[in-house]
Amino acid sequence: MWTEQQIIEIRAALLRWYDRQGRTLPWRVRPEDRANGVIADPYAVWLSEIMLQQTTIPHGTPYWYKFLDLYPSVEALAAAPLDDVLTHWAGLGYYARARNLHKCAITVATERGGEFPRTKTELLTLPGIGDYTASTIAAICFDQPTNIVDGNVERVISRMHRVEEPLPKAKAFIKSLAAVIADSDRPGDYGQAVMDLGATVCTPRSPLCDSCPWSDWCEALEAGDQTAYPKKAPKKKQPIRFGGAYVMMRDGAVWLRRRPSEGLLGGMMEVPTSEWADVMPSVVPPVEADWSRSPAPVKHVFTHFELRLDVYRTEIDGDPDGEGRWVACEALSTVALPSLFKKVLRAVGI
């Protein structure tokens, strides 16, 4: 292992690199500003961290601007109806994040006077905030010396040490290795620096080792097998499920209903569908009508299965049975409609 002196040099090399980058993300405080006492806004940082969980920065960033504009404070977010929050989250995926975001905002606004807790331990008690997010907020906003480990850090550390154990089993071990070099003098900058390193230099496919501040200490670079790490457990093939979606139109409006509040796409609106099964279920339309089927099924890939929906469309006069409501086609952007069902509507020309 490294001597204390080496560890100090490793930290310093990363922070020198980071300071030189000048990479700015909109919710960040630049190192020079931080040195002058500028404090990151916990609300804005929390919002960004929840949105960026398993989400790329280009995809998440427009949502961050929109939410800050619509809900400039945690109180404003807490006061909004959940359905509005889900509407504005639509398209970002992992909708439990939006439900937890709203729940967390209510807790902070009503039980904590609008102030986020300043310690990792207290942050961990809030809905939607796990180890990574708690560590990050505590470090970036409150200068707490935490050990920030996300997917980027796992890749960087597993390469430096050529960790042979595959993820996700190796998470605890990698985290213990990361803790050895985590910086306690500039916790926020260090955490962002090591994540940036993974995101821009120590990339999954083609790492830019010539530009890496840690190349002197990287075992994988020395061995020439950087991209062999992190080792990952083989993933199983995902099943394909089939079903039918039934688009009912009346006077330029579409019939939508609300999904159950938990589980897949929980709380979001949907076009009525059949059950989703391993083989195409027998077709039982929700109303007797003259249905036309779209030429090609809609394909949609979830995390744990692929869905193929045959899309049927019809015009009806009355109301369908069951819960739901008519939504004018021009007003579809004002409802909590996930991408899957936007695709379904697009497939029949809406």
Partner DNA sequence: AACGCGTGGTT
Partner DNA sequence: TAACCAAGCGT
Q: Which residues of 289-323 are buried (b: 16+ CB within 10 A; e: fewer)?
A: beeeebeebbebeeeeeebebbbbbbeeeeebeee
The answer to whether 344 and 271 are in contact (CB under 8 A) is yes
Q: Does 283 bind DNA (CB under 7 A)?
A: no
49 is annotated as an active-site residue: yes
Counting residues that bind DNA (by CB under 7 A) gives 57
β-pairing, 292-293 vs 306-315, is antiparallel
Binding string, residues 68-87; x marks residues near DNA by CB under 7 A? --------------------
Per annotation, catalytic residue among 4, 9, 32, 49: 49
Q: Which of residues 159-198 bind DNA (CB under 7 A)?
A: 168-169, 192, 195-196, 198
Q: How far is the CB of 147 from DNA (least distance, A)?
A: 12
- In angstroms, the CA 259 to CA 328 distance is 19
Q: Is 232 in the site for DNA (CB under 7 A)?
A: yes
Q: Which is nearer to DNA, 102 or 155 (CB)?
A: 155
Q: Residue 286 interacts with DNA (CB under 7 A)?
A: no
The nearest distance, CB 326 to DNA, in angstroms, is 22
Q: Taking CA 28 as the corner, what is the angle to CA 23 and CA 29, rounded to the nearest 5 degrees?
A: 95
Q: How far is the CB of 63 from DNA (least distance, A)?
A: 11
Q: Which part of the chain contacts DNA (CB under 7 A), choosing from 51-59, 73-81, 275-283, 286-294?
A: 51-59
Cβ distance to DNA smaller for residue 40 or 320: 40
User: Could you say which of 187, 243, 297, 338 contacts DNA (CB under 7 A)?
Assistant: 338
Q: Pick out residues in 1-40 that bind DNA (CB under 7 A).
A: 25, 28
Which residues touch 151 (CB under 8 Å, ≥6 apart)? 198
Is 37 exposed, middle or buried, given 0-12, 13-18 or 19+ CB atoms closer than 10 A?
A: exposed
Structural contact between residues 118 and 144, judged by C-beta atoms closer than 8 angstroms: yes
Among 59, 66, 112, 346, binds DNA (CB under 7 A): 59
Taking the chain, what is the end-to-end CA distance rounded to the nearest angstrom?
61
Within its chain, how far is the Cα of 209 from the centroid? Answer: 28
Pair 101, 50: CB distance under 8 Å? yes
Q: Which helix (H) or strand (E) holds 245?
A: strand 240-250
Considering only CA atoms, which of 250, 249, 233, 247 is closest in space to residue 347? 247
Question: In the range 86-115, which residues lie near DNA by CB under 7 A?
Answer: 90-96, 100
State the CB neighbour count (10 A cutoff) for residue 79: 13
CB of 182 to DNA, least distance (A): 15
Rank residues 292 and 346 by Cβ distance to DNA and give the closer one.
346
Q: Is 242 helix (H, G, I), strand (E, B) or coil?
A: strand
Q: Which of residues 293 and 343 has its CB atom nearest to DNA in the complex?
A: 343
| Binding range to DNA, per CB under 7 A, among 4-12, 106-114, 125-133, 289-297 | 125-133
Residues engaged in binding DNA (CB under 7 A): 25, 28, 48-49, 52-59, 90-96, 100, 127-134, 150-152, 155, 168-169, 192, 195-196, 198-199, 203-205, 232, 235, 237, 263-266, 300-304, 338-340
**Which residues are tagged catalytic?**
49
